[in-house]
Amino acid sequence: MSMLPSRAEMQRAYLQSDAAYDGVFVLAVQSTGVFCRPSCGARKPQPKNVDFFATAREAVFAGYRPCKRCQPMGAAGEAPQWVRQLLSHIDRSPDQRISDTSIRSLGIDPARARRYFKRNYGMTFQAYCRGRRLGSALAQIRKGEKLDHVTLGHGYESHSGFRDAFARTFGTPPGKARTTDCILVTWIESPLGPLIAGATDKHLVLLEFTERRMLEAQFVTLQRVFKRPIVPGDNNVLREAREELSAYFNGTLRKFTVPLECPGTEFQKRVWDGLLKIPYGKTISYEELADRIKAPHAQRAVGHANGANRIAIVIPCHRVVNKGGKLGGYGGGLWRKQRLLELEQVEK
């Protein structure tokens, strides 16, 4: 899969330090002989002085050397080392408050962490940590643990402070939360950039590339449809989705089995069911999909339902193309659609 996004798109990505393109391409600066990730914080070179490569290997063989600041020889789609360090720190103590002083002790600028989490998770670092603590607290409450133990074990100095934060997040006081559930969201790395995945305790309900413009609207829709808050976390469904996506991108999985829940209109459900029936490695037109779901002449409505799909890749809306084979629209970007189709067309 060597096809690159357009030069204009890559220029925009590196000029804006767009981390969503890390692992998608590297940029090489002719004047310095160095190549970088798109998200590199170094001074931005003039576009006329930049070469683009699909992989770090290609840049190395073209005579460029890796940047010491952004370390582009790391795995594709992988979070920067300092982010992985911070996430590991949270995982070791998910129930504890992490202050700016603690972040600095790791050699990380708190402002940098705040910006990165806001851009990639849709929330600041402190909001992410607070969501993790409250999500963990909810799990303990649902298991029947005493509120006193839960309150003191999650970094809150008073019962009132814990109750207020809990109620703001879950819409109910902790004492009434034995049956409360939430949607857990996590970040999944991929060769095409990071994805946000969301799941209840039984079903995958969200899978979107992090920079998709509709992502915030999808969050609002999920909260309305499921009547549950969205908080950071992980569960068995998300772990299953992560493992299956890894196998898919490695070319060893052709059919996903992770359980899905996709509330929508009856027409949307028919379209999404039709998408699930398109075989791996095949494409069909919007017109053909309309015929298959017994809605002839409804190509435009089919296109809208395609765009409303909240579970990318697993519900393969990328397999629908315009009549004549042209790619058509895709919420994650046409270059990603092309990459996914190329992946599926490689003979195994």
Residue 47 C-beta-side C-alpha neighbours within 13 Å: 10
In terms of residue numbers, what domain contains 311?
Answer: 266-345
Q: Is residue 255 part of a domain?
A: no
**Same domain for 282 and 228:** no
Q: Which of 158, 176, 194 is the last residue of a domain?
A: 176
Q: Which of 117, 144, 176 is the last residue of a domain?
A: 176
* CA 7 centroid distance within chain: 24
Model confidence band, residue 348 (pLDDT cutoffs 50, 70, 90) = very low
**Same domain for 152 and 199:** no
> In 36-109, which residue ranges form alpha helices assigned H by DSSP?
56-61, 81-92, 100-105
> If you average pLDDT over residues 151-173, what whole number do you get?
57
CATH number, domain containing residue 145: 1.10.10.60
Q: Which of 120, 145, 176 is the last residue of a domain?
A: 176
Q: Is residue 259 part of a domain?
A: no
Q: Which of 49, 52, 50 is nearest to 24 (CA)?
A: 52
What are the pLDDT digits (tens) for 96-129?
Answer: 677 888 888 888 888 888 887 776 666 677 777 7
**Same domain for 105 and 38:** no
**Same domain for 164 and 98:** yes
**Same domain for 203 and 167:** no
Tokens of 223: 């909260």
Model confidence band, residue 1 (pLDDT cutoffs 50, 70, 90) = very low
User: Mind giving me the DSSP string for 154-212?
Assistant: TT-SSHHHHHHHHHHHHSS-GGG-TT---EEEEEE--TT--EEEEE-SS-EEEEEETT-
Strand partners of residue 35: 28, 66
Find the radius of gyration of the CA atoms of the chain.
22
User: Mind giving me the DSSP string for 248-296?
Assistant: HHTT--SS--S-B-----HHHHHHHHHHHTSPTT--EEHHHHHHHTT-T
Of 40, 70, 182, 317, the catalytic one is: 317
Model confidence band, residue 291 (pLDDT cutoffs 50, 70, 90) = very high
* Tally of domains in the chain: 4
**Same domain for 272 and 237:** no
Question: Residue 73 pLDDT > 90, yes or no?
Answer: no
**Same domain for 281 and 341:** yes
Q: Is residue 34 part of a domain?
A: yes
Query: Is residue 317 flagged as an active site residue?
Result: yes
CATH number, domain containing residue 44: 3.40.10.10
Q: Is residue 74 part of a domain?
A: no
Q: Is residue 73 part of a domain?
A: no
**Same domain for 159 and 138:** yes
Share of the chain above pLDDT 70, in %: 77
Query: Is residue 36 flagged as an active site residue?
Result: yes
Q: What is the SS3 assignment for 57? A: helix
Of 36, 70, 129, 182, the catalytic one is: 36
Among 11-25, 51-65, 296-310, top mean pLDDT goes to 296-310
Q: Is residue 139 part of a domain?
A: yes
Residues in the chain: 348
pLDDT value of position 320: 93
**Same domain for 195 and 164:** no
Do β-strands 65-66 and 34-36 pair in parallel, antiparallel, or remain unpaired? parallel
Residue 267 C-beta-side C-alpha neighbours within 13 Å: 13
Q: Is residue 76 part of a domain?
A: no
Q: Is residue 261 part of a domain?
A: no
Model confidence band, residue 331 (pLDDT cutoffs 50, 70, 90) = confident
**Same domain for 135 and 161:** yes
